[in-house]
Structure formats: C-alpha cells, structure tokens
Structure 1
C-alpha cells in the first residue's frame, strides 16, 4: 500500500542533519519561511494608494497580482528543484536576496513598470523559498516528526501570508510614509534572515553541479500514489483559487461597495482568510485533516457565503464566508503538504514539492486574470459568480473522485 511504499522510499534517504544544530536549523528555516511569505502579501493593501499616484485601474491591479503568481510558477518550474542537486542552503540564500531586491524596487517604484518588476521578482523569491524550505524542514526534522514538519511548513506559509497584509495595513494607516516605511522595516528584517540561512546545516549530500532547465512536473511512481497526490494537488489548486479570488477582490469591494477606507481594516480582512487557514491547520481534529471531504465542504460553503455577502453588500455575511473559506484552505493545504512529504523520494523531495506548489500558485493566477478580464465586459458580481462556480466544480471533482486502492 501507499504507506509501505513511502516507508521503503524513505529508507533510501540521504541522511538528514542531526543533533542540536539540525533542531536549531529547523526553527531558523521556519522563521525565515514565515518572513518570506509575509513579504509576498505586503503590497496587497497598498494598491489603493499606488493606483491614483501611478494612474492605473482595477485591471492593472489584477495584472500586478497575476505577475507575482507567474513569477512564483516560473521559479517552481525552473529553479526550485535545483536544491535537490546544488543544496538547500544556496537556494534559500538566493531567495532571500531576491526578496531584498524586490523590496528595494518597491521603495523606488513610481510607475507601473517598476511595480510589475518588483512583484515578479517577489514571486520568484517566494517560489524558490517555498519548495526549498519545505524540503529542508522535512530533512532537518527527525523521521518520527513528519507531522511536525507538515504543521510547521503550512503554518509558516499561511501565517506569513496573513501577517503580511495585516502589517502592511497597519503601517500604511498609522505610519509616517504609507508606501515606504513598511518596506524599509521589511528590508532591515531580511538581514538577520539571510544570516540565519547561512548558518543552517546543509542537508543535501553529496551536492552536484546544478543544470538549469524547464522541468516537467514530477509526480510519484505507482498508480495509487499518483492518484493520491493528484487529488491533493487538485484540492489545493481550488483552495488557492479561492485565496486568489479573495485577495484580488476584497480591497476594491471593501473600498468601493462598503466604503471602508481604513487601510488597516482592509489589510485585516484579507489577512483574516490566511490566519483562519493557519488556525485550522493547527487546531482542526486529525480526522478533518486526514479526510478529503472536510476541506472541500468548508471551501464550498465559504465560497457560497461570501458570494452572498458580495451580492447583498453585507460585511458580516462576507466575513462569515471568509471564516469558512479560510478553514477549507487551511485543511486542504495542510493535507496536501503532508501527502507530498510522505510520497516524495527523499533524493528529489524539492522536485515533488515544487509540483505541489505549482498546482497551488496556478490556482491563484487563473481567477486573478479572469476577474480582471471579465470586469472589462460584465458586472463584477456576475464575473465573480462565474469564477466561484468554477472553483466549486473543481473542488467537488477532487472530493468526490473515486479512490484508487491498488498500485499498478
């Protein structure tokens, strides 16, 4: 069965780093992982401030969001799996430097072109760090701590995403310089983050000369393992489609329809989705995480309720939908990371995790771009409803597909 196959594969693993240094490295990587993900959502509440200054509208906002996701996808297809050969530490360090360069561009941005470049580079750094850090955490932890690995990895991802919008909103609303102070603070925080990566133990031995190419998405061997992985990957694609739709829609909806102009409140509402996802990962019963259907049920209910909030212009209804959808996203993501870690060949761990995150970030691109294009021709409520129906159909297809019980 799948667990037996995974155990046989783990027995062939490259030895993981051990001892106190490995334990310290585990928590250092988790902390920097959170910080890098935080940087990925810092710009979201600030688009409303950049738009009048740079002269762009809703479609450009959508495009900037999609460019970030595109950079992440490119990183996952080209760079992220390099750490299986070149080592985890060099790729982690490069991703932190990419985040620092992106932050500097945000500080210099006074036109849309620079904003797009900053967002794309931010996506590249996030994509590389996401897959590499997830693999490194799996190797720095002892073999008996697989549950801790999936919990910490998903908590760092979702927690960072949620904190980013909240922190940016607070800085923008109450800081001296709404679009600069938060990036100066973030840039300063990346200095100790870089040093933390440098002192983290390397877990890939022996290292090989890296060769760069556009990689084909890797999936596990064996019919049952492939089916389990693809089902989990499809579920996270639908979950991230919800988060992409939500992140693209919420700032303009709150500002234009509900007349909420407090940037901290906008950041908190976007961040709420990810914070609830984090809480769901940590606090949900194990049977909810292990099963396929609880995540799908929460996602479908969440989409339905926040759609009702959009149509009725009801903030309480929209917030209720946020809570339900966030729970579904957290459950789907936590389960998927656990499946990918368990099924991965330890010698190509980052490769399979890159495929998993490729599904996730592809899910954010499609609704963002589709919403921007549909908004040019039809009412936003109708456009959002079309995308919501597509997300629900994908979610149900993943949840209701028949399991495979034998390995071919």
Structure 2
C-alpha cells in the first residue's frame, strides 16, 4: 500500500530573489487560468444560434464547468500537498490548453460541454494549489498572500469576460480569435511554472483518491472556518445569480447587442470585487456586517432593475454586490490560510473553494429549471429571495464545532 507522505516546506527555497519572483509568477499563472474560465461567457450569444441550443442547454454548460471544478477540488487539488505545487500547476495549464483547443474546433454541444468540463478541471486544480503556493512563497506574510491570491482569482475572472467581449465585438472571428490568443499565452505560463521554486518536498509516490472535505485540525478553529465557508457560498451564489442574468437582461430586455458592453458588465462584478478587497478599510474585513449588507443591497438593486428595466440601477447593484463578494472572499482566504495545517494546506483550501463553487452553480441551475415553468421575473424573484436568505444565514449563524 502506498503511504501518503506529508509535505515539508523546502527551507532552501525560502527567501531570496528566486522566491520573490516565483511568488509573482504563480500569481500571474493563477490569474491566467481564472481568466480562461470566463472567456466563453460572452460567446454563448454566437454559439447558441450556430449549434441550435437554448437557455436550458446554456445552464447545462455552466453545470458541466462546475462538475469539472468540484471533481478537481476533491481529487486533484489536494494532491499538491503530496506531489508538489509545480506538477499540479502545470496540470492545470495543460487542462486549460486542452479546453481551449476544444473551443477552437467546437461545432456541436457535445464538444462545447467537453471544453467547459476541462476548463472547470483547470480552475479547480489551480484554485487551491496556487493559493497554497502563494502563501508558502510569501514567507509567512499571510496578508500579502491573501490579497494577491484573491486579486489573481477575481481579477482573472473579471478580465476574461472583458477580453472575450472585446475580441468578439471587434475581432475578425468572434468565437476563435480570442482562444488563439489565449492559447499563445499558455506556453510561457508553463515556463513560468518550471522556473518557480517548489515549496513541497516529495519523498514518495502520492496516491490518487477522492478525499472528503477536510476541516481545521484544531476544534477551536472549526466554527470560524465554517462561518467563512458559509459566507463565501452566499457570496458566490450572488455572483452565480448575476452571471446568469446579465446576458439575457442586456440583450433581450435592453436590446444591447454590443458584445463588448455585455462582457464589460459581467467583468465589472469581479473587478469591483477585486478593488474592494484591496481598498477596503481593515475594520470592514474584521466585521461580519459590511459584506452581507452590501450583498443584500446589491441583490435588491439588481432585482429591482430587472423589473423596471433600468440599466443604471443594474450597474449600481453590480457595484454593491461586487464589493460584498470581494470582502467575503479576501477575509475567507485569510481565515483558511491561518487555520490550515501547513502539511495539508491545499486540502483545507479545497474545502473552502468547494463551498464557493457550490454557491456559484446552484442559482444558475435553478434559473435554468425555473425558466421552464415560470416567467423570468418570478423565477429571478424566487432566486433572489433564496440568495438573500442564504446571505443572512451565513452572517447570523454561529455554528457549533463539527466532528472530524
């Protein structure tokens, strides 16, 4: 039987110029992978008529992406604690490259689903692996690691939608040119991983297995971690609801046909989240009140905008919700990094991101199903109420310690 070997931090790689450069290279690779996750979103307006699918199939595409992410978080991402950060970062980039190649040749829904599944695998592997590597390369500076990791995650997600929208609107080939450009960036990203210092010492062959979500080893830290996980689930539920609504609202109700504008509106949520988590006062990050209030206000504004067909109100709701998401995400990453056992850092981060992606996909799936039975206004109202309830529960609940 193969025995798991706990990782050790390679003391020879701590400090020095190579480690500082490696920190920023990992951040850049992380941002690049996350950017690829939102590149396809503005392009469904082209694929749907070409491939003959409707809103429900779009929902399935989102679900397949989440399936790939969840599978990676439960099987592959924790493996970096035993196999090393660099091999898993490289695997994430290779998965992103395979996904991009499939987008380039996609002519039917099956190929599109396969491309999104691989894209989800890349995101899931990179999330916890890159976040753990950044914390280790930061040489104990947890604040810097949490800021940069959330900036790479949210900044990459925001830029992906913006870049795809610009390429689609102004490029010669709306569904291919952006993927050729993205594919060209992945080769230097692999080189960046190759020259980055490894932060895990591997002494044996790691075993691949499905791992159940882990919790902090110390009982005292578990309630704090569960609060952070519940909060990020609520925050990403807001983001998932928003991402589901933007293309249809702008295109069908407001008759916005500029794909660059649609991509910019999607990207705005994540870019505001990035700005808020960097610029927010420290007291906002330590308090449990500002983030839920911003999230609830954002959902209320977006829902009102849907009923009144008000673009300014929709943009205002986007800004409020984005600020709340940024606050939740940064504080949750900091809590998870602090509570994680250094020998199982990616394991605990995988649990945190699993909560986030669960929150992200549920509204998308629910909207696709409800749209089949209800009108869109009623469907979004029910979902908005559910998201607000989840946000309130995450803010008010004080969980009891969970059993290991």
Question: Of 37, 50, 55, which residue of structure 1 is paired with 2:52?
Answer: 55
Residues 3-402 of structure 1 aligned to structure 2 (within 5 Å): 15=11, 17-143=14-140, 145-402=141-398
The structural deviation recorded for 1:397 is: 1.1
Distance across 2 between alignment mates of 1:244 and 1:235? 14
| Maintained 8 Å contact 1:17/1:202 | no
The 8 Å contact of residues 70 and 365 in structure 1, kept in 2 or not, is answered as no
Structure 2 vs 1, CA of residues 402 and 157 (structure 1 numbering), >3 Å: closer, same or farther? Answer: same
The answer (yes or no) to whether the contact 2:226–2:399 under 8 Å persists in 1 is no
3-state SS, counterpart of residue 375 of structure 1: helix
Q: Distance in 2 between matches of 1:230 and 1:134?
A: 19
Check the 8 A contact 2:166/2:259 in 1, yes or no: yes
Q: State the TM-score, normalized to the length of structure 2.
A: 0.95
Q: Deviations over 1:319-350 (max 9, x none)?
A: 11000000000000001000000000000000
The Cα of 1:386 is off from its aligned counterpart by: 1.1
Does the 8 Å contact 2:336/2:352 carry over to 1? yes
The separation in 1 between residues aligned to 2:114 and 2:66, in whole angstroms, is 12
Counterpart contact for 1:224–1:404, Cα < 8 Å: no
Q: 2:9–2:199: 8 Å Cα contact kept in structure 1?
A: no
Q: Unpaired runs of 5+ in structure 1?
A: 1-11
Q: What displacement does 1:402 show?
A: 3.6
* Residues 227 and 398 in structure 2, CA contact (< 8 A), matched pair in contact too: no
> Is the partner of 2:205 in helix, strand or coil?
coil
**Paired residue secondary structure (1:205):** coil
Q: How many residues align?
A: 395
RMSD: 1.6
Q: CA deviation at 1:77?
A: 0.6
Q: Give the superposition deviation at 1:391.
A: 1.1
Q: Which moved further from structure 2: 146-155 or 392-401?
A: 392-401
Deviation at 1:207, TM superposition (A): 4.0
Residue number in structure 1 paired with 2:3: none
Over residues 69-120 of structure 1, what are the superposed CA-to-partner deviations in whole Å (9 max), with x where a residue is unaligned?
Answer: 1110110011100000000000000110000000000000010000000000
Deviation at 1:393, TM superposition (A): 1.0
Stretch deviating more after TM superposition (58-67 or 126-135):
58-67
In structure 2, the CA distance between the partners of 1:207 and 1:150, relative to structure 1 (3 Å rule), is farther
TM-score w.r.t. the length of structure 1 is: 0.94
Q: Distance in 2 between matches of 1:155 and 1:250?
A: 23
Unaligned residue ranges in structure 2 (runs of 5+): 1-7
What is the Cα deviation at residue 14 of structure 1? 6.3
